[in-house]
Structure 1
Amino acid sequence: MIDYSKYSTIDKEIIIDNFDDLICTKDFNRKKLEDFVSHRENWGKKYKGRYVTMTSSGSTGNPIIFVYDQKAWATVKIFLIGRVDVSHKIKLLKKERIAFVIATGGNFAGYNLAQEAKNINYTTLILDVNGDFQEIINSLNEFQPTILSGYSSSIAALAEEKLNGNLNISPKRVFCSADELTRNRKEVIEGTFGVSPLNFYGASESLGMASEIPERGKVFLFDDYYKFEIVDEKM
């Protein structure tokens, strides 16, 4: 058993400052990756055709680049497919229609995941959560998603629009992530769409780190794969 308390905590600032020394390949460096993600036409695409490259939102400071090779990317996808939606099996012969209401103004984790969904037998619609809200509603009404995925706050806001008669969709599954799925938000979503929203937690450094088991009403960490540490009293 490794005693992690003997090692210093590495934060994002340390990673940024020592990026080129920390990576385990000579295929790229920080400068090349920053140039790659700075061009919108590269968002959702793989660097050199094999590395999924994305940036954090910068909410805690300067954005940092995260890179997945093919094996690591396959692993996080397995977590999302096999653990987040544990009550449903993928039906390869049935084409699902999934709508993402997410931030599209950068090469973010959610945007890369939404692009990847096209390769997993989904018909996709990607909408910018910061775009015109009425246009989002109109697009969803036209698309008629069977799955709706997005920030908890934005999904709750869409549920309110359905209550007001402006939104006319009936998704069979609802995925919530990013911001907190509060009790009020959950009640509005569940009461409006008639399905319990699936709550999961991920970040740029890993798209799947925890997921709710609806029957228990609790979020469980994927601690068989990750090492989680409580670093201060706020945790």
Structure 2
Amino acid sequence: MSGSLVRAYWSASTFLKARGEDRLPYRPLGEILARQARRVQAMAAHAWATVPHYRDAMTELGLRPADLRSADDLAALPLIAGRELAGSPQRFYSSGYEEATTLTLHSSGTNGRAKAVRYDRAALFEALAHGQRQRAVLAHFTGRRTAYREMSVIRAGSVATQMRRFYETHAWVPRSMDVQRCVLPLELPFEEMLRRINEFRPDLLAGYGSHLGALLRWAWEQGRDLHRPRVIWYGADAMPSADRDLIENRLRVPVLSTYQADEALRIGFQCERREGFHLSLDDVAVRVLKPDGSPAGPGEQGEIVISNLSNRATVLLNYRLGDLVTLPTAPCACGRTLPTIERIAGRADDLVLLPDGQSRHSLLFLAPMHAVPGVVQVQLVQETLNALSVRVVCDPSGDWPSIKGSVEQLARRLLGEGMTVSASRVAGILREPGGKTRAVISHCRPARV
């Protein structure tokens, strides 16, 4: 099939799938769960036939695909974590998809360890179509579903950038589904970011939660003129509650968030009420487990475990994301039938502070540091505003003197020569209670009031 025909096929397919996506969250829950169950059954059969990890796991446990009929049945499979995926990704790759026919999303490693997740084309375009659920919510604030002005603050090479490039080269995104876009590089100083925001005047400003919070707080505290978008939309990490309060109550700009991961592109989204995250149960199966492994109940906190039911190139079932979430005590009053999680204990500490009051997001450091040959895992520890240490886990065969020099040079280039940087080799990096590691530990972070 020619390139033009391929693009025409995916364009038409995505357009058809997007129709009705804004109404699906209101469908009867039983209907959505039946659709989820069909996908569980199909994915179980696919995993058994083509994915080494699950064929071996099912064989060892005496399971067959027919034993996995619903989302609840997936609990019979062993739990897996990010370190297993990062260490042996090929164990989770499907033999049914050649690498050339997939998109490999390279994570930045905000939990300290980078991962590579392959996505088949159908899953990627389905994620694009399912974005209409969030678009319907954004339209409540922007006043329209398309053609509004969207500015995103992201790092070069981010997952969002990788996906956008894929869509642009494999399909013609219908005008009815697109917006006016402008991208701000994450490494820009706050001063330049503010200038470009005021120049572009976006209806929607998107980015990483901690970074947008720091940027807008800086503009407020400095008394700078700031174009106020109709809505702020963030993901990837948490926005400090004090920054969110400032944006919503002083700047009078509503703040929305989305819940997604490199391992599952559409997990949850906030509705107009902004009181929780509606779970896309047709895309993912979700469990929330207490420390003893039992299911969490209403109002309780636990670790979220997901099964991606759409991506068949890298199969992840019963996968521990490492996030701690709280379940609600009552359904959302918006009318959507999709259940919610009330809160996500995400990361709000992924910034390195600078002496002038600005900051740099850890994503600027992690991707290039993980690209240094021999680096397995890194953690940034900021002792003072002028001193940063980098903990590095290396491959046993790595050339430590060379690794140390490269890591320190990267940090100085991003932070300025005035910053004292020291890299040290460590055997491992301690995990938080939720199972993740912190990308940044700061001993000089100011209190937010």
TM-aligned CA deviation for residue 21 of structure 1 = 4.1
The CA deviation at 1:78 is 2.8
- Name the residue aligned to 2:119: 68
Residue 100 of structure 1 and its aligned partner are, at CA, apart by 0.8
| 1:14–1:102 distance in 2 versus 1, CA, 3 Å | same
1:56 is aligned to 107
SS in 1 for 2:210: helix
- Structure 2 distance, partners of 1:180, 1:214, is 19
- 8 A contact 2:152–2:206 mirrored in 1: yes
Q: Tell me the CA shift for residue 138 of structure 1.
A: 1.7
Moved more, 111-120 or 192-201: 111-120
Structure 1's 91 and 213: CA in aligned 2 closer, same or farther, altered over 3 A? closer
TM-score between both structures, scaled by the size of structure 1: 0.75
- One-letter code aligned to 2:197: L
Q: What's the counterpart of residue 368 of structure 2?
A: none
Closer/same/farther in 2, CA of residues 216 and 65 from structure 1, 3 Å limit: closer
- Partner residue in 2 for 1:36: none
- 1:200-219 aligned within 5 A: 200-215=258-273, 217-219=275-277
**Partners of 1:123 and 1:87 in 2: how far apart?**
14
Other structure's SS at 1:208 match: strand
Over the residues paired in the alignment, what is the CA RMSD in angstroms?
A: 2.9
Deviation at 1:149, TM superposition (A): 0.2
The amino acid that maps onto 1:131 is L
Q: Quick check: 1:112 aligned with 2:112?
A: no
Residues 174 and 196 of structure 1 are in contact (CA less than 8 Å); yes or no, is this contact kept in structure 2? yes
- Which protein has the larger Cα radius of gyration, Structure 1 or Structure 2? 2
Instruction: Measure the CA separation in 2 of the matches of 1:147 and 1:195.
Output: 10
SS at match of 2:78: coil
Deviations, residues 170-202 of structure 1 (Å, cap 9, x unaligned): 212220112223432221121344231111111
Scaled by the length of structure 2, what TM-score is found? 0.42
From 69, 74, 79, give the equivalent of 1:4: 74
Distance 1:60 1:110 in 2: 18
Query: 2:201 — aligned with what?
Result: 144
The superposition leaves residues 51-110 of structure 1 with CA deviations (integer Å, 9 ceiling, x where unpaired) of 333211212343111222221112222333313652527957x52221111232xx3323
Unaligned runs of 5+ in 2: 1-69, 292-301, 304-449
2:266 aligned with 1:172, yes or no? no
Out of 98, 102, 115, the position equivalent to 1:27 is 98
Deviation at 1:17, TM superposition (A): 4.0
Structure 1 position 189 matched with structure 2 position 260: no
Please report how far the alpha carbon of residue 12 of structure 1 lies from its aligned counterpart in structure 2 after TM superposition. Answer: 2.5
Which of the numbers 199, 203, 206 marks the counterpart of 2:257?
Answer: 199
Q: Report matched runs for 1:54-133 at 5 Å.
A: 54-83=105-134, 85-86=136-137, 88=139, 91=144, 95-104=147-156, 107-113=157-163, 115=165, 119=173, 120-133=177-190
What's the CA shift for 1:150? 0.9
Pairwise CA distance, 1:8: 0.6
> Which amino acid is 1:225 matched to?
D
User: Which residue identity lines up with residue 95 of structure 1 in the other structure?
Assistant: A
Contact 2:134–2:270 (Cα < 8 Å) also in 1: no
Change (3 A) 1:116 1:153: farther
Contact 1:171/1:193 (8 A) holds in 2: no
Amino acid in structure 2 at the alignment position of 1:111: T
Aligned residues: 212
Structure 1 gaps, min length 5: 29-47
Q: Percent identity?
A: 20
Counterpart code for 2:211: S
Q: Which has the higher contact order (CA 8 A, sep 6+)?
A: 2
